[in-house]
Amino acid sequence: MASVTGPEIDRLIQLLARLPGLGPRSARRAALHLIKKREALMTPLAGALQVAIDKIRVCETCGNIDTRSPCTVCTDARRDPSIIVVVADVADLWALERAGASSGLYHVLGGTLSPLDGVGPQDLTIDALVSRAHDPRVTEIVLALNATVDGQTTAHYITDLIGDANVRVTRLAHGVPVGGELDYLDEGTLSAAMRQRTLF
C-alpha cells in the first residue's frame, strides 16, 4: 500500500487512526474524505487544530480546558462558589454543562483511582481538591463520578481525605434514567431507585 498512497497520506491515515472511535479502515475513509473536501473541510480542520494548539490551555484552578486560565467557568461571577462538582474528566464536565445540571464550580480529577491501571492519588488532582475543600467559601463537594468500581473507590478515598474540612460531601442520585424502561434496568439500579423514591 505504501507504494500507492505515498508517505504523506500514510502518515495522515496513521495519525487519524489514533483518534478514539477511528480504526485503520475508518481512518482511511476519513483521510480520503478530507482529501476530497480539501477546501471545505481539510483546510478549515488544519486551521482549527492550529488555533487549538496555540490557544487551548488547562485551567490552573479546576482542570477544565479553555482558551484562558482561570477558565470561563471559574471566573463566571454568576456561578455559585460554595459548590464544587468533582468530575473524573473534562468530558463529564461538558456533559453536566450541556444538561445545565449545576450552577457550581468544577474540579476535574484527570481520571479515577485504578490500581489495576497503575493510577494512584498522585496521578490525579486530589491534593488541589483538598485545598479547595478547605476554602471557607466552599460548603458542598458533589462527587459526580461514574457509578463504577473505580469511580466509587475514588469517591470513598476523597471523602476520607476531606473529612476534616467543613463541607457537606454529596454524590449523584442513583435511579431510573429519564425515558428508561424498568424491564431493562439492572437490579442494583432498581433497588436504589426504590430506596431513594420521592413524593409524587
Cell readout for 84 is: 464544587
Identify residues 17-46 at the interface with a copy of itself (CB under 8 A): 18-22, 26, 28-35, 38, 41-46
Shortest approach of a copy of itself to residue 109 CB, angstroms? 14
Closer to a copy of itself at the Cβ: 6 or 120?
6
Shortest approach of a copy of itself to residue 16 CB, angstroms? 7
Closer to a copy of itself at the Cβ: 73 or 142?
73
How, if at all, do strands 57-58 and 104-108 pair?
Answer: unpaired
Shortest approach of a copy of itself to residue 9 CB, angstroms? 7
Shortest approach of a copy of itself to residue 142 CB, angstroms? 17
Instruction: Give the whole-angstrom CA distance, residue 86 versus residue 110.
Output: 10
Shortest approach of a copy of itself to residue 104 CB, angstroms? 13
φ, ψ at 157 (rounded to 5°): -60, -45
Identify residues 141-200 at the interface with a copy of itself (CB under 8 A): none
Instruction: Give the whole-angstrom CA distance, residue 31 versus residue 34.
Output: 5
Cell readout for 69 is: 486560565
C-alpha count within 13 angstroms, C-beta hemisphere, residue 28: 5
Shortest approach of a copy of itself to residue 47 CB, angstroms? 9
Closer to a copy of itself at the Cβ: 90 or 165?
90
Is 199 exposed, middle or buried, given 0-12, 13-18 or 19+ CB atoms closer than 10 A? exposed
By CB under 8 A, the count of residues binding a copy of itself is 54
The SS3 of residue 134 is: coil
Instruction: Give the whole-angstrom CA distance, residue 124 versus residue 120.
Output: 7
Identify residues 54-113 at the interface with a copy of itself (CB under 8 A): 55-56, 64-67, 72-73, 76, 89-91, 93-94, 97-98
Q: Are 145 and 112 in contact (CB under 8 A)?
A: yes
Report the chain's C-alpha Rg in angstroms: 22
Residue ranges that bind a copy of itself, judged by CB under 8 A: 1, 3-6, 8-9, 11-12, 15-16, 18-22, 26, 28-35, 38, 41-46, 48-53, 55-56, 64-67, 72-73, 76, 89-91, 93-94, 97-98
